[in-house]
Amino acid sequence: MNIKNEYVVHGVKLLRPSDRRIRQIKRHQQRNTAHGNKIWLSSLVLMDFLAEEPPAPDTRVIEIGCGWGAPSVMLAKQFRSKIIALDIDDAVEPLLRLHCELNGCKVDFLRRDFGSLTREDLAPCKLLIGSDICFWDHLIDPAYNLIITAQAMGTLKIAIADPGRPPFWDLVNRLVKTTNVEVITRTIYEPRKTRKFILRL
């Protein structure tokens, strides 16, 4: 193991893009992922938030736009959450699987656009999480509709982390008009200092 390419966040082993195992997976892929080329800092901030406010054991969770799925892996490993990790890009699935193997846990992957989730899909979900999911204007409507539908179907908690892009704030401002919304500013210091925002419902 190259210590520089592996690090630990809240008891979860995570890999950098330079790790040999990551590079090997990417070499065998026909194409590169659009955005799933590393674990984004927003995901680490979300992990920190969830570690402080964890779900009850065996909670059913959906992570939207999961990428490498670091928050899902943490919830599955530390809190026995039953997770569906969702991403439109199936090229991230082997990277998620690798992190599950590293951490001895299970996360179910689903190749889906989060805007396609139905009321039936959301009905079992008690915790809905995501990081960096609202980076373009055209994602505001599906994100808003998803959140409102999830609440209507009984989702108890929603947490979305973001660096504070304009579409994120547009989503917040839209939600404020229809539901109770809280935005938390959160800073972590390891593996590097960063400040992000968490939309919490």
Using DSSP's 3-state secondary structure scheme, residue 85 falls into strand
pTM above 0.85, yes or no: yes
**Is it the case that residue 26 has pLDDT exceeding 90?**
no
Backbone angles phi, psi at 12, to 5 degrees: -110, 130
**Pairwise CA distance, residues 179 & 188, whole Å:** 28
pLDDT category at 141 given cuts 50, 70, 90 is very high
User: In the chain, what percentage of residues exceed pLDDT 90?
Assistant: 87
Instruction: Give domain limits for the chain.
Output: 3-200
- pLDDT at res. 47: 98
Mean pLDDT, residues 26-33 taken together: 70
Provide the pLDDT for residue 3.
Answer: 58
What is 3-200's CATH superfamily? Vaccinia Virus protein VP39 (3.40.50.150)
Q: In this model, does residue 61 exceed pLDDT 70?
A: yes
Q: Is the pLDDT of residue 2 over 60?
A: no
Burial of 117 (0-12, 13-18, 19+ CB in 10 A): buried
Stretch (H or E) spanning 154: none
Q: What is the mean pLDDT of residues 139-160?
A: 96
**Is it the case that residue 33 has pLDDT exceeding 90?**
no
Structure token digits, residue 79: 């809190």
pLDDT band, very low/low/confident/very high, at 172 (cuts 50, 70, 90): very high
- 22-36, 103-117, 141-155: range with lowest mean pLDDT: 22-36
- d(CA 59, CA 51) in angstroms, rounded, equals 14
What pLDDT sits at residue 126?
97
Helix (H) or strand (E) holding 175: helix 166-176
C-alpha pair distances (Å), 180 with each of 70, 86, 122, 147, 148 = 27, 25, 19, 12, 11
Rounded to an integer, the average pLDDT of 18-46 is 83
Distance CA 59, CA 64 (A): 16
Band (pLDDT 50/70/90 cuts) for residue 31 is low
Q: What is the pLDDT of residues 85-101, one digit of tens each?
A: 999 999 999 999 999 99
